[in-house]
Amino acid sequence: MNILQLVHTCIRSILRNRMRSLLTSLGVIIGVGSVIIMVALGEGSQRAIEAQITAMGTNLLQVMPRRQANRSGQQVMMRSSAFTKRDIQKLRDESSFAAAISGVIQSNANVFGREGNASVSINGVEPDFLIARNWKIEQGYFFDEEDLILRSRAAVLGRTTAKNLFGEPEYALGEQIRIGTNYFNVIGILQSKGASFGGNDQDDVVMLPLDTAMTRLSNSRNINSIVISVAGKEYMEAAQKETDLILRESRNIIDGAQSDFDIVNQADIIDMASATSRTLTTLLAAIAGVSLLVGGIGIMNIMLVSVTERTREIGIRMAVGARKIDILFQFLTESVIISLLGGILGIGLAFLVCNLMSAAGIPTAINPLVVTAAALFAAFIGIIFGYYPALKAARLYPIDALRYE
C-alpha cells in the first residue's frame, strides 16, 4: 500500500466516525490552544512591560539618594542625602557618556485650574529632562535655560492634568494654574505617555523649571533625584560606573566608604522584568502542556477501542495479503491524523481567542515558532500514544482475528 492509499484509507476510516474522532482530538485541541494562548499572553505582557519601561526614557540611569537609618534612643529615623546643583554640574562637565542630564524635584500638591482642581505630581526639572525621559511636546513649547535662570513662572502640563483642570487639553494652553499661592502660565502640553511600569498615570503631571520649583514651592536647594540619558545602550555599564565615581568625588565620599546614593540602570530593570515574564510564561505553558498528554491518553484509549471493533477487518486484510507493517502503519497514521487535526483546530482556536483578547485590550503576541512547535508536538503525541494500539493490531493472528465476534 503506497502512502496516498494509506492516507486515503485512514481518512475514510476517521470520517466514518466523525463525532468520535472529533471528541478524541478534543484533548489535543485544548492542549495546543492552551499552550499557544499562554505563550502569546506571556510574550504580549513582556513586550508591553518593555515598552512601558522604554517609554520612561532612552538608555536611562536614575540616581537617587540612599535612605539611611539613624538610631536615636529607641527610635529609628530614616534620612537621605539629597543632591545639589553642584553634583549635576560636575556630571555635565565630566561625564563622557551622558547625552542629557536633569535634576528632578518631585512633590504632590493640589493644583487649581479654570474648570477644576486635582492632586497632581509636581516635577521641577531642567530642559534636558524631555530628552532624558524621551518625552515630546504636543502643543506649545518647553521651558529653556533662560526660564531656568529667570525662575520663570512657566508650567507644562500632562494631558490628564490639562483635561482635569480645563475640560480638554487643548483649552489649557495660555491659561493659568494655581499651586498654593503661586500662579503659573501654561506654555505647553505634553504628548500622552499612558501608565508607567508601576501603574501610575504619567500624564497626570505638572512640570516647572527646576529653580522655580526650588524657590517658590520647596524653598530648598535640595534635589530629589537625577536622570541621565546615556548616548548608547552599549555604554550603559560604563556610564553607571563613571557616574558613581563622579558623584562620590563631588560628595566627598572617601575610598572604601559606602555611597549615599543608588544608581538604577533601566536596562537592568528591563532584563529583570523580561526574565520574570519568561519564567512565568514557561510555567504557564508547561501547565497547559499537561492537557496535551491527557489528550494523547484519550487518543490511545479510543484507538485501542477501534482495534477491538475492527478485529475482523484486520483479519480480512491480513488474509488477502496485508503485512503486519501495513496494519501497524495504518493505525499509526490514523492516530497521527487525528492528533494533527486536533492540533490544527487548536491553532485556530488560539488565534481566535488571542484576537478577542487583543480587541479587549489584553496584549498578546503569537510566536510562529511556538505555533509550529505545537503542531509538531501534536503529531508527536499521535505517534507516541498511537504506537501501542497500532502494534497490538499488527500482532493479531489472522485466524483468531477472523473468528472474532
Over residues 42-49, the mean pLDDT reads: 79
78 has a pLDDT exceeding 60: no
For residues 79 and 217, the answer to whether their CB atoms sit within 8 Å is no
**73 pLDDT tier (thresholds 50, 70, 90):** very low
95 has a pLDDT exceeding 80: yes
SS3 call for 153: coil
194: left (phi over 0), alpha (psi -120 to 50) or beta: left
Query: pLDDT above 90 covers what percent of the chain?
Result: 21
Q: Round to whole Å and give the CA distance between 96 and 236.
A: 11
Q: Round to whole Å and give the CA distance between 342 and 26.
A: 6
56 has a pLDDT exceeding 70: no
210 grid coordinates: 527646576
- DSSP letter at 205 equals E
Interval 273-287: pLDDT, tens: 777 777 777 777 777
For residue 302, CA distances in Å to 325, 331, 380, 386 come to 21, 11, 17, 10
- DSSP for 73-88, written as a single string: TTEEEEEE--B-HHHH
Over residues 214-231, the mean pLDDT reads: 86
398 has a pLDDT exceeding 60: yes
**76 pLDDT tier (thresholds 50, 70, 90):** very low
Interval 245-276: pLDDT, tens: 999 988 888 887 888 888 888 777 777 777 77
- Comparing 339 with 289, which gets the higher pLDDT? 339
List phi, psi (to 5°) of 235: -100, 5
- Comparing 68 with 43, which gets the higher pLDDT? 43
Interval 11-32: pLDDT, tens: 777 767 777 777 777 888 888 8
Q: Which of 4, 13, 7, 89 is nearest to 306 (CA)?
A: 13
For residues 378 and 342, the answer to whether their CB atoms sit within 8 Å is yes
Query: pLDDT above 70 covers what percent of the chain?
Result: 88
69 has a pLDDT exceeding 60: no
- Residues present in the chain in total: 405
Q: Give the count of beta carbons closer than 10 Å to the beta carbon of residue 4.
A: 8
For residues 370 and 44, the answer to whether their CB atoms sit within 8 Å is no
Over residues 87-104, the mean pLDDT reads: 91
For residues 361 and 319, the answer to whether their CB atoms sit within 8 Å is no
79 has a pLDDT exceeding 50: no
75 has a pLDDT exceeding 60: no
Over residues 178-187, the mean pLDDT reads: 92
Average pLDDT, the chain: 81
**77 pLDDT tier (thresholds 50, 70, 90):** very low
Half-sphere exposure of 246 (CA within 13 A, CB side): 22
**53 pLDDT tier (thresholds 50, 70, 90):** low
Helices (H), 17-117: 18-24, 26-55, 85-94
10 has a pLDDT exceeding 60: yes
Interval 296-331: pLDDT, tens: 787 787 777 777 777 777 777 777 777 777 777 777
405 grid coordinates: 465476534
Half-sphere exposure of 115 (CA within 13 A, CB side): 13
Q: Round to whole Å and give the CA distance between 267 and 278.
A: 16
